[in-house]
Structure 1
Amino acid sequence: MKPLFKRILLLLFLTQTVALMAQQYEQSFKDRTTLIQFINNYYTEVVYEENPPRFISARGGFVSNTISGSVVNLEYNSLFKNDSLRVISIPVLDNFVAVANKPQALDGQWLMGGRMRNGEISYRDTSGPRKTLKVLFNGRFQWIAFNTDTFAFMGTGGGNYSSVDGIYKEEIKFFSRDDSRVGAILPFDYELISGEWHHKGKSSKGVPIHEIWVQREY
């Protein structure tokens, strides 16, 4: 894709306000992958290696336009203890490939909203600073746990996903807490109930879970 066309395409996605305007960009060099996504003016970036598996970094936040150009006001930054960055410029994407969009039923941004325990739902306040965000788009998923007040980064994981006929399946490609989990394939049952995503199965540790995710509102 020519650089000028890529910049025009990026500008269109940054200025649209309709539901789920999104684009995904990928760069692979040797065994290192960088994945950048723009989803409804939200930016995510993750860098990881595949062979051997190793998580490198993750950053994300809201895009805003300034006189000097577009910047990202970060909500999380896995390297914050080293670089102290809360605002970054959008990187040049000339060496990235724009990935073709393939919509799925669960595409979007979700916040951990609660859990089912002993047949009862225990909800959590998603407006607080402690958040677990899950971003799904174009067959890729990523969850991120962070605190917007302290800028603490608690972990992330992600990879490929599919959501077909009530079955949601994850293939882990990176996991900041334990690289040995990479390669695992985890099937779950899913159901959308009154706009809430009910996510049932077993975690990467084999623990039964019934999570409830809610669409993030801005």
Structure 2
Amino acid sequence: MKKIILLPFLFLAGAIFAQNLEGAWKMTHQNGKAMTEKEYIKIYQDGYFSFGAKETATNAFVSAGGGPYTIKDNLYQEILDFYTVNPEMVGQRTDFSLDMVGGKMVISTEMEGKTLVEIWEKVSDAKDDLTRNWVITGRKRDNEIARSTPGARRTIKILSGGRFQWVAFNSETKEFSGTGGGTYTAENGTYIEKIEFFSRDNSRVGASLEFKYEVIDGEWHHSGLSSTGNPIYEIWSAYSKAYNPVK
């Protein structure tokens, strides 16, 4: 467990932490330095978070991480399910001090003997039909649906605040397979996403993809053409219901 660094902000804890983190956030400063050369976007939804980062000048992928989080008073905790910077931290818990300052989120901790302070600004907390943390549980091929049960190896897709991020990883082996994300809209059965970062091929950044969607019995049925032009039909289930980790 990491040591918490407490910041002397004069706010009532009860009022601060009643605020909902759900939505999309952008990092503005890290250790007092403005984030101009890199863009970090962090999404919170259904007790889960993920972030993706890229270089602003080249769109080159930088890093990604995510997992479940909790908040109690001003104690903010993350447990990593995936983390490209240091996979050995997967499964570990990090404790932060969290304060809200002028509508911005300030989190701080001590990591590897150094103080880390980040400032995040909320991009949006907009919601729509697909706002949720999802995990893939089915695919249709040749008019037949093949189902799967998410385990240590799984693919998630978190949508909130008009932002999306998908991630494929194995939390047991700490293997990371890929991620991508950006902005999206979901209206009248049409889902459109614009890619803003992609770990496998940054030349895809800027591309827009259009799909059809339908929520059936709480599951997201997603169909269209993939980024490679191949037809897909996927079924995504609510992560909180479909993924049951082995205790």
TM-score (norm 1): 0.84
Q: Is the 8 A contact 2:140 2:146 kept in 1?
A: yes
Between the aligned partners of 1:98 and 1:5, the Cα distance in structure 2 is: 19
* Matched residue, 1:184: 207
Please report how far the alpha carbon of residue 144 of structure 1 lies from its aligned counterpart in structure 2 after TM superposition: 0.4
Secondary structure class of the residue paired with 1:105: coil
| Structure with larger RCO (C-alpha < 8 A, sep 6+) | 2
Q: Is the 8 A contact 2:185 2:191 kept in 1?
A: yes
* Matched residue, 1:57: 63
From the superposition, tell whether residues 137 and 67 of structure 1 become closer, same or farther in structure 2 (CA, over 3 Å). Answer: closer
From the superposition, tell whether residues 90 and 24 of structure 1 become closer, same or farther in structure 2 (CA, over 3 Å). Answer: farther
Match of 2:175 among 129, 152, 168: 152
Q: Is the 8 A contact 2:52 2:197 kept in 1?
A: no
From the superposition, tell whether residues 4 and 23 of structure 1 become closer, same or farther in structure 2 (CA, over 3 Å). Answer: farther
Amino acid at match of 1:120: E
From the superposition, tell whether residues 196 and 23 of structure 1 become closer, same or farther in structure 2 (CA, over 3 Å). Answer: closer
Q: Percent identity?
A: 35
* Matched residue, 2:52: 46
From the superposition, tell whether residues 43 and 159 of structure 1 become closer, same or farther in structure 2 (CA, over 3 Å). Answer: same
Match of 1:165 among 164, 188, 191: 188
Match status 1:214 vs 2:237: yes
* Matched residue, 2:245: none
* Matched residue, 1:104: 128
Q: Is the 8 A contact 1:50 1:173 kept in 2?
A: no
Q: Is the 8 A contact 1:188 1:201 kept in 2?
A: yes
Amino acid at match of 1:111: V
Match of 2:84 among 51, 65, 78: 78
Q: Is the 8 A contact 2:82 2:169 kept in 1?
A: yes
Secondary structure class of the residue paired with 1:177: coil
Amino acid at match of 1:186: L
Structure with the greater alpha carbon radius of gyration: 2
Between the aligned partners of 2:15 and 2:54, the Cα distance in structure 1 is: 26
Runs (5+) with no aligned partner, structure 1:
15-20
The answer to which of 57-66 and 116-125 deviates more is: 57-66
RMSD: 2.6
Please report how far the alpha carbon of residue 46 of structure 1 lies from its aligned counterpart in structure 2 after TM superposition: 2.0
Total equivalences in the alignment: 208
Between the aligned partners of 2:227 and 2:146, the Cα distance in structure 1 is: 22
* Matched residue, 2:114: none
* Matched residue, 1:18: none
From the superposition, tell whether residues 152 and 91 of structure 1 become closer, same or farther in structure 2 (CA, over 3 Å). Answer: farther
Between the aligned partners of 1:9 and 1:161, the Cα distance in structure 2 is: 31
Between the aligned partners of 2:204 and 2:15, the Cα distance in structure 1 is: 36
Please report how far the alpha carbon of residue 70 of structure 1 lies from its aligned counterpart in structure 2 after TM superposition: 2.7
From the superposition, tell whether residues 201 and 104 of structure 1 become closer, same or farther in structure 2 (CA, over 3 Å). Answer: same
The answer to which of 114-123 and 23-32 deviates more is: 23-32
Please report how far the alpha carbon of residue 31 of structure 1 lies from its aligned counterpart in structure 2 after TM superposition: 4.0
Between the aligned partners of 2:12 and 2:187, the Cα distance in structure 1 is: 31
From the superposition, tell whether residues 66 and 166 of structure 1 become closer, same or farther in structure 2 (CA, over 3 Å). Answer: closer
Runs (5+) with no aligned partner, structure 2:
1-8, 29-34, 99-104, 107-118, 242-247
From the superposition, tell whether residues 53 and 5 of structure 1 become closer, same or farther in structure 2 (CA, over 3 Å). Answer: farther
